[in-house]
């Protein structure tokens, strides 16, 4: 990269990205940039770059001229694109599939009648039976350290069930700005932790941590999360992708998303 660089804040980056007219992806939040160690800077040609802590370019560079509307560019390779930006490859260049993003309208979770919610209703019933009680949402300030430690110790990522950025998940679980506890209504025990952040367009549903051995608990936690968000915000919810897992893709699909977008990275020509 030529010339000096000028470091920018995540807020400045999102303002410029918003001006391009493209939709933010699942990693677009100030909190994510901070917790996962991403940096933003512009070069002397007016290109704005996002790099992770290993100096890998994460998003398409933005050409931010001194006047006029900023635009995304394929000049530089990047890992994660935007669903509304999919350049056409030329010889020696390629799009690289990254993941999907599932978009939900939280208000639709207020009515779970009908055939398309049948499996969700069944899972909510199973969760009540296995727990022996209903659930309710509590503030993160109520969570005791030993409760959180026990929940995290029971969660184990694996090759068969990978988790998006597991190290960052732990930081969000311990220090996240937006967390809710799902508790048993009678016992008060912690059965799930719901974590999110947001940008100008979406609420990003980061993580849903649940205790093991309870059928349908993930559905119970997600329904509670969507109902909570439907009251506090008019934004849609971005629940991220499926991480290459067929089962997770089917699971998120049956929760009736309003959109399922594909996200691609970009490999440029050698020396470009």
Would the pLDDT of 211 be above 50? yes
What is the arithmetic mean of pLDDT over 188-198? Answer: 95
51 and 125 fall within a common domain? no
The reported pLDDT for the residue numbered 240 is: 94
Query: CA torsion sign, 122 to 127 to 130 to 135?
Result: negative
pLDDT band at 223 (very low <50, low <70, confident <90, very high): very high
| Within a domain: 166 | yes
Same domain, yes or no: 64 and 119: no
Give every strand in the sheet of 202-210, ordered side by side.
Answer: 135-138, 179-184, 190-198, 202-210, 236-238, 94-104, 259-267
Q: Do 135 and 88 fall within a single domain?
A: no
Asked which of 41, 67, 97 is the last residue of a domain, the reply is 97
The answer on 234 and 186 residing in a single domain is yes
Cα separation, 141 vs 133, in Å, equals 23
Q: State the total domains in the chain.
A: 2
Q: Find the domain containing 136 and state its range.
A: 101-262
Instruction: Write the CATH number for 146.
Output: 3.40.630.30
Give first-to-last CA distance, the chain, whole Å.
11
Q: Are residues 249 and 119 in the same domain?
A: yes
Last residue of a domain, one of 97, 125, 148: 97
Confidence of residue 68 (pLDDT cuts 50, 70, 90): confident
pLDDT at 161 over 70: no
Q: Which of 55, 70, 97 is the last residue of a domain?
A: 97
E strand or H helix that includes residue 63: strand 61-63
The pLDDT tens digits of the residues spanning 103-148 come to 999 999 999 999 999 999 999 999 999 999 999 999 877 777 888 8
Do 199 and 241 reside in the same domain of the chain? yes
* Three-state secondary-structure class, residue 33: helix
């Amino acid at each position: 990269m030529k010339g000096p660089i000028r470091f920018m804040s995540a807020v400045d980056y999102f303002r410029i990205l918003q001006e391009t007219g493209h939709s933010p992806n699942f990693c677009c939040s100030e909190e994510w940039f901070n917790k996962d160690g991403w940096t933003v800077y512009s070069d002397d040609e007016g290109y704005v770059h996002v790099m992770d802590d290993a100096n890998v370019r994460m998003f398409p560079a933005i050409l931010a001229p001194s006047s006029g509307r900023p635009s995304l560019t394929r000049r530089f390779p990047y890992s994660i694109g935007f669903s509304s930006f999919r350049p056409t490859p030329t010889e020696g260049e390629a799009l690289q599939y990254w993941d999907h993003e599932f978009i939900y309208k939280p208000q639709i979770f207020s009515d779970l009648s009908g055939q398309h919610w049948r499996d969700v209703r069944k899972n909510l019933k199973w969760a009540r039976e296995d727990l022996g009680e209903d659930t309710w949402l509590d503030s993160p300030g109520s969570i005791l350290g030993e409760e959180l430690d026990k929940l995290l110790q029971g969660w184990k990522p694996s090759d068969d069930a990978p988790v998006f950025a597991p190290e960052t998940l732990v930081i969000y679980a311990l220090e996240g700005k937006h967390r809710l506890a799902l508790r048993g209504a009678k016992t008060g025990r912690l059965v799930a932790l719901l974590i999110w952040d947001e940008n100008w367009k979406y609420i990003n549903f980061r993580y849903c941590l649940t205790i093991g051995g309870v059928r349908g608990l993930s559905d119970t936690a997600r329904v509670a999360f969507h109902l909570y968000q439907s009251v506090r915000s008019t934004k849609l919810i971005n629940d991220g992708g499926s991480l290459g897992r067929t089962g997770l893709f089917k699971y998120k699909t049956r929760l009736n998303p309003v959109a399922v977008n594909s996200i691609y990275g970009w490999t440029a020509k050698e020396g470009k």
